[in-house]
Amino acid sequence: MTINWNGVFPAVTTKFTANDELDFNAIDLNLHAQLEAGAEGIILGGSLGEASVLTDEEKFALLTHTLKVVDGRVPVLLNIAEPTTKKAVAAAQKAAQLGANGLMLLPPMRYYSDHEETLAFLSAVAESTELPIMIYNNPVDYKIEVTLAMFDHLARYSNIQAVKESTRDVSNVTRMFNRFGERFKIFTGVDPLAMESLVMGAHGWVAGLVDAFPKETVAIFRLVKQNRIAEALIIYRWFLPVLELDIHPKLVQYIKLAESLTGLGTELTRAPRLAIHGEERERVLKILNDALANRPQLPEGSWGKIN
């Protein structure tokens, strides 16, 4: 499958049972909701997917299961977040063997590699596989920026095709277009900057709160792309207090709480993450319950599977 780098690609959460095992029933429930809403891709094992606490066996079991459920309807990407080049290459090759349609790729984990080291790492993975790759550029959370000059180098690899733009500098979307034209497809990766990035021309949205609100997320994307900005703004202004949960260190707990309220998941996380409680829980619940009490009616045709 070649990837049409366009649309909403949910960064799905990893669901766990009370026994701390993968909860495939809850995973299926959410996957079906994303597909029904009109998601154009699925991303596994990202920041929201609790990649850092999954074993290799769990990541590949999750990939194999998701590929079966999705059944070719949209591309399924596995996130590569590894501390060594050797492990990253091995993960990319294993993902290809299992049938992944593409990869999302972070710079090295834990070690803050310099410009040369980062390029060597990303290049080694690109050279090891034919799978299409989305570079995940998130210097705020992961401390390493993939700069414009680095993308000059990465442009030589035909399978590096897209970027998840999470620098939190919305002007970077325009900088990428000015420098590279359409060479890289740009996805906004920060929920509370999503509409701004889409208006600036981003091709897609790697979304987080889509896990709890799939239809609203897809509706904003489609309305912007149809230049129905006023209609998109109504939804986006309603959604923004919820979207801002995506940029908190406890985004996993917050978004899983949102999923539990909308019936699309559970709150269960893997330790060391713990469920939120007390004042913090009440504050997040108020944001979510206020949004649910005022959920907007979506324009006809703004979400759903495209035949």
Residue 164 a catalytic site member: yes
State the Cα–Cα distance between residues 106 and 137, nearest whole angstrom: 7
* Options 15, 59, 142, 164, the catalytic residue: 164
Work out whether the CA dihedral 205, 210, 215, 217 comes out positive or negative: negative
* Options 15, 136, 185, 236, the catalytic residue: 136
Q: Write out the two tokens for 173.
A: 């979307």
CB 3 within 8 A of CB 201: no
State the Cα–Cα distance between residues 66 and 101, nearest whole angstrom: 11
Q: Taking Cα atoms as reference points, which of 206, 208, 292 lies closest to residue 13?
A: 208
> Residue 167: which region, alpha, beta or left (left: phi > 0; alpha: psi -120 to 50)?
alpha
Q: How many CB atoms lie within 10 A of CB 2?
A: 9
Q: Kind and range of the H or E element at 142?
A: helix 139-142
State the Cα–Cα distance between residues 10 and 221, nearest whole angstrom: 12
Measured between alpha carbons, how far is residue 245 from residues 89, 140, 161, 169, 257 in Å?
33, 15, 29, 18, 11
Q: Judge whether 206 is annotated as a binding position.
A: yes
Annotated binding site for pyruvate: 206
Which sequence positions are flagged as catalytic? 136, 164
